[in-house]
Every structure is written in structure tokens, then in C-alpha cells.
């Protein structure tokens, strides 16, 4: 909103230089876009245009009067608001007004003027030009002048071109067309509101007038329109027609419902003041359902609690009164023995003032944010327990980051080709109106986005890539679920002078998944699997084991299939290892932060035994581990695989697995004989059940 300072000073004199005025308004919440001097402007050599960015919740400040009201309140100066009045008439006006859709237009005011079309005065043209509005003719310029001064859009129809000299506010008919003032023929639909005469649409309500009743050099009488239209209706119409105007910009943000008659009176005053014509006595104000002013209670203790300081009562009343509120004492609360406060009637132009906190913000804004002390707000109650879903996801993300994975954040919509490997076509959720083919579907797995991020990094010569992302994934069968994806390619550890770095393999990814499962407090079981997006023989599924022995699918991991990698732009020689973890699936099994148990450090030393076994190569290590735990005494506290060998010295079809067994008793030091006897029993059980032989 561009404000000419000399125009502003007609309504308020802040008594400060232009830059001080602009800065104080900026500190009160108005984004300052710039200050431009205006040489030769009506205000003299010190005149300037101040450009503010007005937020969508403050349509009242899309006017000179609105900014003047703010300045008057900030600097505690009187506001001079023009109060023109329309002359009453003795008989009916030569125009009728009918509102057929009061839900979209709750008020329509109209007057008639006999005019002489010509150029507007130079001072008016200069002010319009400073605000960025092109001068057209005296009548059109006056309606634009009122729009900028009061913030309320108006329109003028050539009365003699209105069929039946009637104004009908109605919805458009299906397929109805209108040529707007910009010369474009537009097709309307029944969701759009129009201003029509007895025969046809003459304007798109709140957006733009039509060319049939346009004011021209031959116009002798005009019907002046000043109305209020439903913001959502104007916004919807503006978007569908692809047409944004100064009028629609204000109406769709919420114009003042009490302004139509004031704006009409100001327009009539300017027509006669500039010699553009004479206004016919009388006016129409069709207002089917007048609105009542909103009332909000402001409590003094709550004001002090939120702001962290006590604002004097006289300052509170001055601020709210200056902004247009009617302020009275809250007598009901006081009579009931409560603390004093205020009953505040909000002005019609401030639709954003609906709650107590809104009034508190206004007091803070005008009183000055810089005058508020820096304090922590007092806690009246303990904070609510965080959602278990957030705690679970935060723990998984923290663990992934601790393992060296870098977090990335991507869009949840991807191209169809990226989603294809991770779900059946019928299970992929398509976007009805995608921005492009790159964002055609919702991802069925977090990895659908993550694989492309890996390819992006590899194309930029990043050899070692280790990434994770926690986010939503979508399928037609299950809807939205939270998942965590891991992607790893390149070195498993950084280069070191003592030897070359080892390349990542499937066991590294298995360890990462196990670490996250441990963080979540899960007991898991890993089994070989077949998966469309993973390489055969290098894919596995992880199940979480519930207390009742049931198994819940927790994760799938392995090496990305070379065919899928090639389609996503990854080099053919790359081995990319992935994991997709379903965080929602194990929700019943996790209770992070709810049941924390602390055990004392062991008082007695442990006894360690290493056992190397020859077993069939297709026998899962988890099966051996389960047998060890079943055959071991209570003193076995840990089992860990630490070596796997296959090659010379090992029979074909077999593999050597080495386990480290840790024994400890809580009440004494174990003897070597006890540890040895336990180990022998374990080896015997493995030999009996799986044919394992000790190396």
C-alpha cells in the first residue's frame, strides 16, 4: 500500500519527519517496503510516498484513513475523519436495487448523480499517480480516490445503459458471459455473483465492471454502487477468472460492512466538490440483515501475564479507543468479586479482533514491543506428555544421525517411475492435479524419494553417501504411515593411512537397522526375503517379536536391484544398500520414556569364551543364536557373532561362524570350570539340532 504523506497529513499530523513516521509504523507491525521522495508533489519538497506491505488480516490498512488511524494512535494525536452526509430525497430514485443472494451480498447502497465527464483535477491525478493508479476520467478517478482514501471499492454505471434502470444482485446463470472493462469476454458460472440489470450481467461483483454500462464521454447520469460482498465469494470468482483488481484485493480480505454508505457519501461530496456533477437527493441502502458489533472481554491480569508487564489502564483504554474500539469497564466481573477488566466493542473494520488475545496483541503493538521486558512465561501446569509417535520418530532419527547418516528432507510426492518399484500400481496414490509429472504420485515408501537423492549426489561426484529421512508414506491400502528410510553407498568407514577403506555391504545396513531396533526397545528376528526392489540373495526382512510370540514386520533392507538403480540414474558399478523401516507398525511394542529401569553396575567380573562352528551356509545366524540362548544357563549374559569365514579350509556349502559368549553371575565370581561346562552344553545342543561341528 503506497501512502502519500501529504494525503495522510490531511487526517493526522504526527509531528515527526517522514522517516521517523515510517519507522514507527514499521515497528508497530507494518513491513516497510520503501520510501520514495516525490518532488513537486502537493505536499511540497518534503513530500514522499511510503510503501507498506499489508498483511492479509489487516484490510483496514489498505487505505489512507487506516494508516492515519494507526499513526494517530501511535503518536497520540487527534484523527480528523471526514463525515460527509447524503441529502435526503423527496421521491424515489430513478433506479431500483434488488438483492437475490443476501448470503453473498449483505448490503448494497446506491445513489444517482447527473454528471459531466471530463478530466479530474490535477491534485487528484497527482495523488492517484503517487499511489500507482492511472487517471482515467473524473467519475472513475473519484471512485478510485474513495477506494484509496477509505479502503472501500466503488463502481459507477451509466444509468441510461442499465436495462429497466434496475440493479439486481444475483448469481450468474450457467454459461452467461460478460465483457469486462479490460475488453475480455468471460464465461461465468452459477458460483459467481454478478451485478445485473433487468436483462443481463453488467459487472462481476467485487471484481470488475462490464463494458456495456461503462462510463464514457457521452454519459450523463450514473448509478453509484457501494456494497459489501462475501470475501470467499470474491476470492473464488477472482481465482476462477484469473482476474485480480484493486477492488477484489480488498473485498476478498474482508471489507468494512458498515462502510458502503460512508463511501457513497464521500463519493457524492467529491463529485460536487470537483464540479463533476450534481448528486440527486436521496439514496438506497438495501441491508437485509444488519450486523451487530462484536464484544470481547479483556482481563487486566491476563494482559499482564501475557505481556510480562503491567500496562497502565489509561494507556490500554487510549490504545483501544484510538483504534476505533468502544471501551467500557467489565462491570459483571467486578460485581462478582473478580479483578477489573474491560468490555470492548470492536469496530466494524477490524474483523480480526475476535478474542482476548487479539486485543492484548493490539495493546502490545501500540505500547511498543521494545518496552516489554524479556521474561520467560510462567508455567501454570506441567507440559503435556509428547505424542508417542513423535518420541519414537525422534529416537530413530537421533540414532541414525549418531551412526553417521545425514538427514535430508524431500517432498512426499514423486514421479510415477520413482514409486513403481516400491508398490503395485493399484496401491500407488495419484495426485489429482499435479504441478508436473515430477510430482505425480504420493510416495509409497520413503526410499522412493531417497534413491533419487543418492543419484543426485553421485552425479555430483560424491562417492560416499550415507543418508536417512523420516517422513510420511502413502498407499491406497494402508493410507498414511510414518517411515524411516536409510541409504548407504561407498565406504563403510573413512580412508586411513593404515589401509584402504572398506566398502559398505549388506551387513553394515543390517547393523544400522538393528541399532534402531535396539533404540526402540525391540526384540527382532531377521530372515532372508525376496523383494522386487532389492537384489536377489541380498534382501532381508526384519520382524519385531511381541511378548506373545507374534511377529510384526518392522523393516526391509538389502542391496538396491541393479535394474532399479539404472532406471534412477545411478552408476551401474555402485552398490547401494537401502532399508525401509515402518515406525507405526511397532507402536504397540515401544514405550520410550514410560518405563525406564536402571540396573546397578555388575560387582563381579565376567568370563568370556569364543566358539567357532562349521555350519551349513544357508543356516541363519539368528537360528543358532536362539539355540544358544535356549541351551545356556542363566549366567550367559551376552551372545555376539564376531567373525564369518568361507573359503580355504572350510568345506563347500559350509561357513565358519564365531560366537563370543559372556558369562557373569550376580552374586559371585564364576570359575573357569563353570564357564567351560556351560560352553560344552551349548556346543552339544548346536551339534544335535543343526549338525554344527566345532573348529
pLDDT over 60 (residue 333): no
DSSP string for residues in 139-184: HHHHHHHHHHHHS---EEEEGGGSGGGEEEEEEPPTT-EEEBTTS-
What is the CATH code for 388-589?
Answer: 3.30.930.10
Q: Report the alpha-carbon distance of residue 202 to residue 196 in Å, rounded.
A: 5
Q: DSSP per residue over 202-229, as a string?
A: EEETTTEEBSTT---TT--EEEEEEEEE
Closest CA to 248 of 239, 257, 256: 239
Is the pLDDT at 344 greater than 90? The verdict is: yes
> Which residues, listed in sequence order, are joined to residue 482 by a DSSP beta bridge?
472
Residue matched to cell numbers 573413512 = 494
The answer to whether the beta carbons of residues 185 and 210 sit under 8 Å apart is no
Other Cβ atoms less than 10 A from the Cβ of 12: the count is 24
The answer to whether the Cα torsion of 566, 572, 575, 576 is positive or negative is negative
Q: Over the stretch 262-319, which tens digit does the pLDDT of each residue have?
A: 999 999 999 999 999 999 999 999 998 888 888 999 999 999 988 888 999 999 999 9
C-alpha cell recorded at residue 373: 521486558
Tens of pLDDT along 133-186? 999 999 999 999 999 999 999 999 999 999 999 999 999 999 999 999 999 999
Is the dihedral angle over the CA atoms 624, 625, 630, 636 positive or is it negative?
A: positive
Closest to 61 in 3D by CA, of 287, 253, 194: 253
**How far from each other are the two terminal CA atoms of the chain, in whole angstroms?**
86
Sign of the CA dihedral running 208, 210, 216, 219: negative
3-state SS, 643-666, equals: EEECCCCCCCCEEEEEEEEEECCC
Mean of pLDDT values over 236-241: 94
Report the predicted TM-score, pTM, of the whole model to 2 decimal places.
0.64
The 10s digit of each residue's pLDDT in 410-438 is: 999 999 999 999 999 899 999 988 888 88
List strand residue ranges (DSSP E) for 27-164, in order: 31-37, 48-53, 96-99, 105-115, 155-158
pLDDT at 489 over 60: yes
The CATH number assigned to the domain with range 96-286 reads 3.50.40.10
Cβ–Cβ < 8 Å for 120, 141: yes
Contacts of 125 (CB under 8 A, 6+ apart): 119, 135, 141
The residue assigned the cell 561426484 is 461
Cα gap 317→326, rounded to integer Å: 9
Architecture of domain 2-75 in this structure? 2-Layer Sandwich (3.30)
CATH class of 295-371: alpha beta
Q: Which residues pair with 526 in a beta bridge?
A: 542
| Position 596 pLDDT exceeds 70 | no
Residue matched to cell numbers 536409510: 486
The C-alpha cell that represents 552 in the structure block = 510384526
Q: Which of 199-203, 382-386, 494-498 holds the top average pLDDT?
A: 199-203
Domain 607-694 fold: Alpha-Beta Plaits (3.30.70)
Q: What integer pLDDT is reported at residue 43 of this predicted model?
A: 47
Question: Looking at residues 587-606, what average pLDDT do you find?
Answer: 80
458-475 pLDDT, tens digit each? 999 898 999 999 999 999
Question: Residue ranges of the domains in the chain?
Answer: 2-75, 96-286, 295-371, 388-589, 607-694
Q: How many residues does the chain have?
A: 695
Exposed, middle or buried: residue 400 (CB in 10 Å: 0-12, 13-18, 19+)? buried
Task: Evaluate whether 2-75 and 295-371 have a shared fold.
Answer: yes
Please give the radius of gyration of the chain, using alpha carbons only, rounded to the nearest integer: 38
Amino acid at each position: 500500500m503506497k501512502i502519500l504523506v501529504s494525503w495522510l497529513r490531511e487526517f493526522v499530523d504526527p509531528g515527526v519527519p517522514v522517516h521517523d513516521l515510517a519507522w514507527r509504523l514499521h515497528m508497530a507491525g507494518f513491513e516497510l517496503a520503501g520510501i520514495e521522495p516525490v518532488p513537486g508533489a502537493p505536499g511540497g519538497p518534503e513530500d514522499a510516498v511510503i510503501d507498506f506491505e499489508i498483511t492479509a488480516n489487516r484490510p483496514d490498512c489498505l487505505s489512507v484513513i487506516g494508516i492515519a488511524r494507526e499513526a494517530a494512535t501511535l503518536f497520540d494525536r487527534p484523527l480528523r475523519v471526514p463525515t460527509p452526509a447524503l441529502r435526503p430525497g423527496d421521491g424515489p430514485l430513478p433506479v431500483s436495487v434488488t438483492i437475490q443472494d443476501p448470503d453473498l451480498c449483505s448490503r448494497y447502497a446506491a445513489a444517482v448523480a447527473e454528471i459531466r465527464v471530463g478530466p479530474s483535477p490535477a491534485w487528484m491525478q497527482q495523488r492517484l499517480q503517487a499511489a500507482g493508479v492511472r487517471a482515467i476520467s473524473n467519475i472513475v478517478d473519484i471512485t478510485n480516490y474513495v477506494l484509496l482514501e477509505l479502503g472501500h471499492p466503488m463502481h459507477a454505471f451509466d444509468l441510461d445503459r442499465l436495462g429497466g434502470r434496475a440493479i439486481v444482485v444475483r448469481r450468474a446463470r450457467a454459461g452467461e458471459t460478460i465483457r469486462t472493462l479490460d475488453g475480455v469476454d468471460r464465461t461465468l458460472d452459477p458460483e459467481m455473483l454478478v451485478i445485473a440489470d433487468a436483462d443481463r450481467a453488467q459487472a462481476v461483483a467485487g471484481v470488475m465492471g462490464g463494458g456495456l454500462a461503462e462510463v464514457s464521454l457521452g454519459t450523463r447520469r450514473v448509478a453509484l454502487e457501494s456494497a459489501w460482498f462475501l470475501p470467499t465469494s470474491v476470492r473464488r470468482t477472482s481465482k476462477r477468472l484469473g482476474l485480480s483488481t484493486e477492488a477484489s484485493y480488498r473485498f476478498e480480505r474482508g471489507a468494512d460492512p458498515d462502510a458502503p454508505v460512508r463511501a457513497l457519501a464521500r463519493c457524492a461530496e467529491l463529485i460536487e466538490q470537483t464540479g463533476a456533477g450534481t448528486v440527486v437527493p436521496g439514496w438506497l441502502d438495501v441491508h437485509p440483515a444488519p450486523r451487530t458489533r462484536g464484544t470481547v472481554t479483556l482481563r487486566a491480569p491476563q494482559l499482564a501475564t501475557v505481556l510480562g508487564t503491567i500496562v497502565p489502564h489509561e494507556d490500554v483504554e487510549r490504545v483501544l479507543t484510538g483504534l476505533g474500539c468502544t471501551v467500557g469497564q467489565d462491570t459483571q466481573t467486578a460485581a462478582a468479586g473478580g479483578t477489573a477488566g474491560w468490555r470492548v466493542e470492536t469496530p466494524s473494520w477490524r474483523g480480526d479482533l475476535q478474542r482476548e488475545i487479539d486485543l492484548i496483541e493490539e495493546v502490545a503493538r501500540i505500547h511498543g514491543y521494545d518496552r516489554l521486558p524479556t521474561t520467560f512465561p510462567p508455567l501454570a501446569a506441567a507440559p503435556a506428555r509428547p505424542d508417542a509417535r513423535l518420541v519414537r520418530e525422534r529416537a530413530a532419527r537421533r540414532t541414525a544421525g549418531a551412526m553417521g547418516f545425514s538427514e535430508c528432507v524431500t517432498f512426499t510426492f514423486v514421479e510415477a517411475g520413482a514409486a513403481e518399484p516400491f508398490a503395485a500400481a493399484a496401491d500407488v496414490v495419484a495426485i489429482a492435479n499435479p504441478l508436473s509429472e515430477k510430482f505425480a504420485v504420493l510416495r509409497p515408501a520413503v526410499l522412493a524419494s531417497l534413491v533419487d537423492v543418492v543419484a543426485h549426489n553421485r552425479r555430483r561426484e560424491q562417492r560416499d553417501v550415507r543418508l536417512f529421512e523420516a517422513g510420511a508414506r502413502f498407499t491406497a491400502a494402508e493410507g498414511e504411515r510414518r517411515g524411516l528410510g536409510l541409504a548407504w553407498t561407498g565406504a563403510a568407514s573413512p580412508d586411513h593411512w593404515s589401509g584402504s577403506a572398506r566398502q559398505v555391504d549388506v551387513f553394515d545396513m543390517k547393523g544400522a537397522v538393528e541399532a534402531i531396533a535396539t533404540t526402540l526397545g525391540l526384540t527382532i528376528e531377521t530372515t532372508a526375503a525376496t523383494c522386487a526392489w532389492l537384489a536377489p540373495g541380498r534382501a532381508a526382512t526384519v520382524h519385531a517379536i511381541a511378548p506373545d510370540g507374534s511377529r510384526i514386520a518392522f523393516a526391509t533392507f538389502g542391496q538396491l536391484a541393479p535394474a532399479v538403480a539404472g532406471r534412477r540414474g545411478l552408476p551401474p558399478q555402485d552398490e547401494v544398500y537401502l532399508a525401509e523401516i515402518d515406525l507405526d507398525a511397532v507402536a504397540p511394542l515401544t514405550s520410550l520414556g514410560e518405563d525406564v529401569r536402571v540396573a546397578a553396575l555388575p560387582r563381579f567380573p565376567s568370563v568370556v569364551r569364543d566358539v567357532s562352528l562349521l555350519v551349513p551356509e544357508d543356516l541363519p545366524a539368528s537360528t543358532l543364536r536362539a539355540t544358544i540362548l535356549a541351551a545356556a544357563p542363566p549366567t550367559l549374559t551376552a551372545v555376539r557373532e564376531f567373525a564369518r569365514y568361507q573359503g580355504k579350509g572350510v568345506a563347500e556349502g559350509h561357513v565358519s561362524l564365531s560366537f563370543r559368549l559372556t558369562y557373569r553371575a550376580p552374586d559371585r565370581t564364576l570359575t573357569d570350570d563353570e564357564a567351560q561346562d556351560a560352553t560344552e552344553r551349548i556346543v552339544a545342543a548346536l551339534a544335535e539340532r543343526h549338525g554344527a561341528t566345532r573348529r
